[in-house]
Amino acid sequence: MGNTEKTKNGQEYLAGTRDGIPIALGYFAVAFSLGIAARSIGMTPFQGFLASFLNMASAGEHAAFTSIGNHATYLEIALVTLIANARYLLMSCSLSQKFPERMPFYHRLLCGFGVTDELFGICIARPGWLNPFYLYGAFLISAIAWSSGTALGIMMGNLLPFRAVSALSVALYGMFLAVIIPPARKSRVVAVLIGLSFFLSYLFGILPGLSALSAGNRTIILTLLIAGGAAVLFPVRDEQMEDKENAA
């Protein structure tokens, strides 16, 4: 690697770090609430830090922590986490189109590990080919903030009184509301599906037979049923196709 390329990679890394600072600040605040949830199932600060660093996904981690708290099997935890994080597979495929063909496989592998909603957003908006060091810079500072926030949440949960911990744990549900409300306001279909998921989740928890299933298995079944049914009944139309129809 020549000096010119090293300099360019360094500049891209610093640019990624700069753009990742606002994301890191947001991650730290959200991860603190996640740490409260991790503390409730008996995780130590180190375990929480490691779990968050290896799985940078709020919904995926919360699903995993909930499954652990419900004494789910390893297979259930793996499936719940896979389903909750499935969108990252599509993001990785899309992001791979930003890489030049000559980019080594290990860079592609590392970049795939560093994909989150926000990091995907700043990378996909980057003009031209994406230098992997840009993503590395944004990912590292974001991962440290996310993991540190989880560890701090666990530590504070061990120090604060029970009532304060219970109050802080509500913040995590506020995070999920912030995720689902904007798309629900834009799409009536999404709003109906969200309401349907609440209703079916309640039924699965009280109906004979279904209520006997573990929380992890109920989540897996509901996710596959609702997401699969929505994909068949309400497929997302291709934007190019819609443009052609509108032009006609």
pLDDT given for residue 240 in this prediction? 43
pLDDT given for residue 174 in this prediction? 60
Residue 195 tokens read as: 């309401």
User: For the residues 199-205, what does the mean pLDDT come to?
Assistant: 87
- Placement of tokens 């604060």 in the chain: 160
User: For the residues 52-80, what does the mean pLDDT come to?
Assistant: 85
Give the chain's radius of gyration (CA, Å).
20
**Residue ranges per domain, the chain?**
3-169, 187-238
Q: Is the pLDDT of residue 183 over 90?
A: no
- Mean per-residue pLDDT of the chain: 81
Distance CA 116, CA 33 (A): 18
Q: Is the pLDDT of residue 64 over 70?
A: yes
pLDDT given for residue 244 in this prediction? 45
Residue 85 tokens read as: 């994080």
Q: DSSP string of the chain?
A: --HHHHHHHHHHHHHHHHHHHHHHHHHHHHHHHHHHHHHHTT--HHHHHHHHHH---HHHHHHHHHHHHTT--HHHHHHHHHHHTTHHHHHHHHHHTTS-TTS-HHHHHHHHHT--HHHHHHHHTSSSSPPHHHHHHHHHHHHHHHHHHHHHHHHHHHHS-HHHHHHHHHHHHHHHHHHHHHHHHH-HHHHHHHHHHHHHHHHHHHSTTTTTS-HHHHHHHHHHHHHHHHHHHSPPPPHHHHHHHHH-
Q: Is the pLDDT of residue 248 over 60?
A: no
Q: Is the pLDDT of residue 14 over 90?
A: yes
Assign 41 a pLDDT band (cuts: 50, 70, 90). confident
The 10s digit of each residue's pLDDT in 119-133 is 888 888 788 888 999
User: For the residues 101-122, what does the mean pLDDT come to?
Assistant: 86
